[in-house]
Structure 1
Amino acid sequence: MASTARSDQLTASGAARPGGPGLLAGRSVSRVGYGAMQLRRLERDAAISLLRQAVDLGVDHIDTAYFYGSGFVNEVIAAALSAEDDVLVVSKVGAEPAPGGPLPLRLAQRPEQLRAGVEDNLRSLGLDRIPLVNLRRADHGPGLRPEGDQIVDFDDQIAVMTALRDEGKIGAIGLSSVSLDALRHALPAGIACVQNAYSLVTRDDEDMVGLCLAEDIAWVPYFPLGGAYAGMPKVTEEPAVIEAARTLGVSAAQIGLAWLLHHTPNTLLIPGTADPEHLRVNVGAGAIALDGATLAALGAVPSRSGDIETG
């Protein structure tokens, strides 16, 4: 038992797990993972190099989607990683690429679009089965809202995701941008994780965090430092965060990420970056210990959504 516990602290490459081990889709992963969206900003070789650096730093949980760069990010992941790396690749469906549009994606919520999205991910990742696929809804949090034929019954979406799992094309189902009521409704289908916008300064989903903890569902917040849209509060501008960073000799961003890891044990992080130094900083947040006084000061920061402009 002791040796098993020790092995959970290390990745397949022998690197220490940043943030320690967490549970996702039935397996141990590093609590600090990597969100791959920003790889679309890089040339192919630089993107591959950054992924290899992430693995060397102990990252073994990577979040992606086919609509990140119209398959480019997935193809880079397929080229950079091998089976020996034992990295859990998580993808998502519910949107599709929209080259030349005001945003680089558009919603793709209909059941046949979800199925097509899984097939696109399988092909571009070079996999026969994706361990975990998140259904990106659009009825909660910042971002796009469905219109017309993109207003789809949730049960129809869950049905096709369950069918894809039964067919062996996906291993587990996750949800993203969902409401508390939607999560409760979907629990009988078996939900492995929830990805919603959440940070120290935008804690509207606190009840959902608690439900995920009670149901052994991984909580994987995106926009973990806020500030993704105009009007969205930024964690790094909070006086309590700045003071904690000064006291501990770390960055304000690291404090924001460390607070999330301290908040609940089922929290996993997927901060994204295209910069190698930022990658090291993000991974380093997993080693930051916050004492009771610091946690109390950070916990007293008010939650506020702000006047968010999503474009």
Structure 2
Amino acid sequence: MQSETITAAAAGTWKLGDLTVNRLGFGAMRLTGAAAFDLGAPRDRRRSIGVLRRAVELGVNHIDTAAFYFSTLRSANELINSALAPYPDDLVIVTKVGPGRDPSGEWLPWARPERLRGQVEENLRQLGRDHLDVVNLRVEGPGPVAEHFGALAELCEAGLIRHLGISSVSPAQFFEAQAVAPVVCVQNRYGLDGRGPNSGELLRICGEQGIAFVPFFAIAGEGREAGAPAGGGDNGVVTDVARAHGATPAQVRLAWTLHQGPHILAIPGTGDPAHLDENIAAGALRLSAEDLTRLASS
């Protein structure tokens, strides 16, 4: 597939609340290092900034990030600020709160509700904004979420947040949050060969309600934060479908994800300019019914 003439608009659009975005977005997690949350050698700063600017040039208007996306000398939020501020009017930046990391990179306990304001303000400071477009509550474990979601709803009323979403949740937690305040998106692990518990059910529920479903690790699959395995780790069916379309296996995985419903927003992340162009081009890849049947059975 030729990527240079294809933009993110090829995948179509959906809404996050009242904000319209192209269904092919960008995840900032891998901008800071070769592996997510790696405190080893950071990525080249100039290259990461170039990737962000190229993404916007290619029509990306939905960027997913978090204050806890950082490595030695690199912060995803700071890179976004440096590369894109002053921000385009149509750019929607989605961040998440709940987890946290100390300066050494160690994970902190899931934040208590009263600590969420500090996390929101940290994202505001790093991004250089006076409000956040969408904030996802990233849930840790099976417990209740109403108190946490209520704390974020108060920050919406205060004008610090425009819309709320929720991440890594069960259907019961989703409904619990929805009883507190409107939910504009659900972000769970979902891909061709790596799906979180209940993600299929949540994808269906979101489709019925017109809510955006935002899968992460659509390419990495079971590799998760470590990324896709060397060589892609693809089975023969994925490789065959990719070859038939003149595409890469990663593009097939993204296209398959987008084909699961018009309300799905993909957020593939990369620090590689060539991979960025390939990911964006996947939005124009149309899989046949036969392709989808073969992939479903692979």
Give the TM interval when normalised to the shorter protein.
0.7 to 0.9
Aligned CA distance change for structure 1 residues 271 and 107 (closer, same or farther; 3 Å): farther
Q: Does 1:83 align with 2:87?
A: yes
Post-superposition offset of 1:21: 1.4
TM (normalized to structure 2)?
Answer: 0.85
1:184 to 170, 175, 183: 175
Q: Would the alpha carbon gap of residues 249 and 180 (structure 1) be closer, same or farther in structure 2, given more than 3 Å must change?
A: same
| Partner deviation per Cα, 1:178-209 (whole Å, 9 max, x = no partner) | 11111122223210101111111234421110
Instruction: Give the letter for the 2:90 counterpart.
Output: D
Residue type of the alignment partner of 1:133:
V
Aligned to 1:3: none
- SS class of match (2:132): coil
Q: How does 1:19-58 map to 2 (within 5 A)?
A: 19-41=11-33, 42-58=43-59
1:218 lines up with 2:219 in the alignment: no
Paired position in structure 2 for 1:304? none
- CA deviations 1:54-94 (Å, max 9, x no partner) are 11111111001111117821112112112335311111101
- 1:69 is matched by which residue type in structure 2? F
- For normalisation by structure 1, the TM-score amounts to 0.82
| Alignment correspondent of 1:277 | 274
- What is the SS of the residue equivalent to 1:271? coil
Distance 1:127 1:165 in 2: 15
CA contact (8 A) 1:60 1:88 kept: yes
Structure 2: runs of 5+ lacking an equivalent: 1-6, 34-42
Secondary structure (helix, strand or coil) at the match of 2:216 reads coil
- Give the corresponding residue for 2:292: 295
- CA-CA distance at 1:229 after TM superposition: 4.6
- Cα distance change on mapping 1:47 and 1:249 into 2, 3 Å: same
Task: Measure the CA separation in 1 of the matches of 2:98 and 2:121.
Answer: 13
Cα pair distance change 1:67/1:191, threshold 3 Å: same
| TM-aligned CA deviation for residue 245 of structure 1 | 0.7
Gaps of 5+ in 1: 1-14, 141-151, 302-311
The separation in 1 between residues aligned to 2:93 and 2:45, in whole angstroms, is: 18
Task: Kindly provide the amino acid, as one letter, of the partner of residue 97 in structure 2.
Answer: V
For the Cα contact (< 8 Å) 2:100–2:111, is it kept in 1?
no
Sort the Cα spacing of 1:232 and 1:72 in 2 relative to 1 into closer, same or farther, 3 A.
Answer: closer
SS of the residue 2:287 aligns to:
coil
Per-residue Cα deviation, 1:231-283 (whole angstroms, up to 9, x for no partner): 99978522221111111111111101000111111000111111001111111
Which structure ranks higher in relative contact order (CA pairs < 8 Å, sequence separation ≥ 6)? 2
Q: Give me the whole-angstrom Cα distance separating, in 1, the residues matched to 2:206 and 2:67.
A: 26
Letter in 2 for 1:253: A
Shift of 1:297: 1.1
Cα distance in 1 for partners of 2:89, 2:226 equals: 40
How many positions carry a matched residue from both structures? 275
* CA–CA distance in structure 1, aligned partners of residues 271 and 87 of structure 2: 24
Match in the other structure for 1:11: none
* In structure 1, distance between residues paired with 2:66 and 2:184: 17
RMSD: 2.4
Q: State the partner residue of 1:120.
A: 122
Structure 1 stretches of 4+ moved >6 Å: 230-235
